[in-house]
Structure 1
Amino acid sequence: MSSETPTLARSGQAPGGHADAGEPHSDIVYPDAIPFAIIHLAALGVLWSGFTVTSVVMCVTLYLVRMWAVTAGFHRYFAHRSYKTSRGFQFFLAFLGQTSAQRGVLWWSAIHRHHHRHSDTPQDVHSPRHEGFFFSHVGWIFSKRKSRADYSTVQDLAQYPELRWLDEHPYLPAAALGVGCYLFAGWPGLFVGFILSTVILYHCVFSINSLAHVVGNQRYVTADDSRNNWWLAIITLGEGWHNNHHRYQSSTRQGFFWWEVDISYYVLKVLFWAGLVRDLRAPPKALLAGEIRLGRKVVEQVAREVAESFPVEHIARELKAASDRRPGLAELKVRLAHTRLEAAASLQRAREEAVAYLREVHLPEIPSLSEIRGRIAEQYHDSPSMDDIALRAREILLERLCYLLGPELLPSPS
């Protein structure tokens, strides 16, 4: 067993990045994805082995146990550290999670932490918005660039040699479980009990990466596409409350309210009473009451999305066509005609003056603050930061309009 902590060198990454985007053939299927493909083909073995009562019970049981290991172990404990436990039980969670054949505990946690840092941006590992539904569901697994983990983000986990050993032997627990299923119930035990349940588990877990960013409702403004979906919460033991999770990732409980079923949390609560886990985290009461303001980064991201939802180029064309008929635009053109754009600083000052003027003057072509608030209300749940988002969105919209109207409003020096 190696005593070295996984490093960027081990993960093959350039410092500060998720992967080397310039790597040749970075999107070709590579050896680490082969087990994923093989187990799908092996699932066809159920047509040969047939189904028995024992194998079906094994299939359902192993699905539920391993889904809990992934959701409560890999996700809520290792990736987010939302509760604490002993070193021994930590190893048990990691071993049980790796029986799901979803690679190593350090790899899984690093990939997930990267997802949260870049959720639904072009840097996200699996974003339906930028890569499409299929890629976000399974396609990213076959991309060497996307599925490469940055181990520098999991140094808190890599300090434990037993976790490093498990991560270096990612499929050993799953292989041991498969052998055990065969010894216990023969070929039906292997193909139905182990392999079929593993494939079903894959796609139910992956549905959180794909479906939970497409289907459902958004209670909270999170600057990404995370959704709450009750039926996904049922089949994933609570992970379907994904918008809740993205709003407050440190919470052990993802079903924030009593009616949001979260079976993984219920089991953790029992383990808490038994003394096996401790310090289960809950979302702040102020957050549940909708009283916590959004951070500047989220406000900026959401404001840009809102501004981009307006047809700014069409608005600019309308303003250009009406520039001679609108007193406000005509006055602005006269004022800015005296500005000589001899340097970039002068251009910037002229644009700032144009934005300031458009902010004050009423032009029916430009969406008003109340119209922007209405657009936000259509897309997002209410938040104490809605006015901040609306003001920033209008500012971005005006800046974009001034850029597009530059030749009209900011004449070049004669």
Structure 2
Amino acid sequence: MAPDIGVEGEHDDIVYPSAIPFVLVHLACFGAIWSGITWQAIAICVTLYWLRIFAIGAGYHRYFSHRAYSTSRVFQFILAFLSQSTAQKSVLWWAAKHRHHHLHSDTEHDVHSPRHTGFLYSHVGWVFARRHDTYDPSKVADLARYPELRWLHKFELLPAIILALLCFLAAGWPGLIVGFFWSTVLVYHATFCINSLAHVSGSKRYVTGDDSRNNWLLAVFTMGEGWHNNHHAFQSSVRQGFKWWEIDPTYYILRALSWTGLVWGLRSPPEQVLRNEQRLGGAVINRAAEQLVAHFNSERIALVIASALHGPELSALRESLTRAHDRTTEVLGSLHLPHMPSREELSAKAKAMFARTKSLEEIVDRAYELLLASVGTRLAASD
């Protein structure tokens, strides 16, 4: 289902009352003016930031969402508990939404696409939408079979509350305000930047059919999650920094933990992917083809063709297209119509748009079919 967006692009499905706790967490950070800032509180803040960023990347993302490695049931619960201490809803909710995101990345069905819903909504607004209060249980049936994870889902804020109390007991009000609330807000926005900024700013090594990008600065602050285009190219990889210079501390820690036997079965991208020599799947080819066609205005092309043809010629073309029904692409492809972009023009545009891929010709072929079909439909329907 597409996002509920008003006629002028205003999102009308935001549940503003549910955003109140989120706003209060941000406002609580100003409590440091009265509580003061101690070195102990700063140390807690820094420690909790990195610990919980690791929990998001290694837990919520690479393990629960993508099953990029295996672990014991005990450590699975620890990862889930640490992840939920970030107050980013439950592990079941988070994984279900993220799996949905990958199925529909940067399409109108994506839950947080800057392309379709705007930067601010993709960054944080979508979390407070009515239709995102719940999740699709079928997407996380593998996780929901564990009663302890269902229990955490039922009491999703309990880990965060326990952590906040521990911070208060350890360092008083500065420990709570600076140690807990400051680190929580920082973790919020570092995580949210992957949904928003990593689909807007950065480089693209792979054709993924979406706007995912590699952003080295985000990789620094998220312990490797910023290599987002890499991740979308091979989602089940525990390693997201594919090149030696692409720092990925989350992967390094998980690799070290594998030496102890705490985790195992770490999945890595095949050599073909690392060399960018893999063939793309049909879904990615279709999405990339749609992106390519979007750069050609089929309505304008149809109008120009119609105005360039004489009356009898245009009538004959429309009659042929009407008789062709679902074979309009064959009809148009067999003709040499004025102002119809050639396949070579689409190929040149594709080479300028996309990263290197062995499937470029397949993308161009599909895009040419889509363009012919769109122009043919408009010509057949025109007066």
Match of 1:213 in 2: 199
1:28 is matched by which residue type in structure 2?
Answer: V
Quote the Cα distance in structure 2 between the aligned partners of 1:405 and 1:140. 39
Structure 1 residues without counterparts, runs of 5 or longer: 1-16, 340-345
Q: Which runs of 4+ in 1 moved over 3 A?
A: 17-21, 332-337, 360-364
Identity of aligned residues (%): 50
Match of 2:371 in 1: 397
Contact 1:351 1:402 in 2 (8 A): no
How far did 1:29 drift?
2.5
Secondary structure of 1:250's aligned partner:
coil
How far did 1:336 drift?
6.4
1:385 is matched by which residue type in structure 2?
Answer: S
Contact 1:18 1:114 in 2 (8 A): no
Contact 1:100 1:198 in 2 (8 A): yes
CA-atom RMSD in angstroms:
2.3
Q: Against the structure 1 CA distance between its residues 209 and 244, is the aligned structure 2 distance closer, same or farther, given a 3 Å change threshold? A: same
Matching of residue 95 in structure 1 with residue 81 in structure 2:
yes
2:222 is matched by which residue type in structure 1?
Answer: T
Matching of residue 28 in structure 1 with residue 15 in structure 2:
yes
For 1:114-125, list aligned pairs within 5 A: 114-125=100-111
How far did 1:291 drift?
2.1
Matching of residue 368 in structure 1 with residue 342 in structure 2:
yes
Q: Against the structure 1 CA distance between its residues 323 and 174, is the aligned structure 2 distance closer, same or farther, given a 3 Å change threshold? A: same
Match of 1:343 in 2: none
Quote the Cα distance in structure 1 between the aligned partners of 2:135 and 2:28. 27
How far did 1:168 drift?
1.0
Contact 1:19 1:146 in 2 (8 A): no
Secondary structure of 1:145's aligned partner:
helix
For 1:338-357, list aligned pairs within 5 A: 347=322, 349=324, 352=327, 355-357=329-331
Q: Count the aligned residue pairs.
A: 377
Range moving further from structure 2, 203-212 or 315-324: 315-324
For 1:199-238, list aligned pairs within 5 A: 199-238=185-224
Alignment partner of 1:38 out of 20, 24, 30: 24
2:14 is matched by which residue type in structure 1?
Answer: D
Match of 1:382 in 2: 356
Alignment partner of 1:155 out of 121, 129, 141: 141
How far did 1:139 drift?
0.6
The structure having more radius of gyration, on CA atoms, is 1
Quote the Cα distance in structure 1 between the aligned partners of 2:147 and 2:318. 67
Quote the Cα distance in structure 2 between the aligned partners of 1:19 and 1:129. 12
Match of 1:84 in 2: 70
Match of 1:300 in 2: 286
How far did 1:57 drift?
1.5
How far did 1:50 drift?
2.2
Q: Against the structure 1 CA distance between its residues 350 and 323, is the aligned structure 2 distance closer, same or farther, given a 3 Å change threshold? A: farther
Q: Deviations over 1:9-47 (max 9, x none)?
A: xxxxxxxx79999xxx8533344x443222112111122
Contact 2:322 2:380 in 1 (8 A): no
Contact 1:18 1:150 in 2 (8 A): no
Match of 2:307 in 1: 321
Match of 1:9 in 2: none
Q: Deviations over 1:54-96 (max 9, x none)?
A: 1112111110000000100111001111100111111111111
Match of 2:9 in 1: none
Match of 2:159 in 1: 173
Structure 2 residues without counterparts, runs of 5 or longer: 6-11
Q: TM-score w.r.t. structure 1 length?
A: 0.85
Match of 1:6 in 2: none
Contact 2:305 2:338 in 1 (8 A): no
Matching of residue 72 in structure 1 with residue 46 in structure 2:
no
Contact 1:74 1:109 in 2 (8 A): yes
Contact 1:179 1:190 in 2 (8 A): yes
Quote the Cα distance in structure 1 between the aligned partners of 2:72 and 2:332. 61
Q: Against the structure 1 CA distance between its residues 348 and 171, is the aligned structure 2 distance closer, same or farther, given a 3 Å change threshold? A: farther
Q: Against the structure 1 CA distance between its residues 314 and 159, is the aligned structure 2 distance closer, same or farther, given a 3 Å change threshold? A: same
Contact 1:140 1:147 in 2 (8 A): no
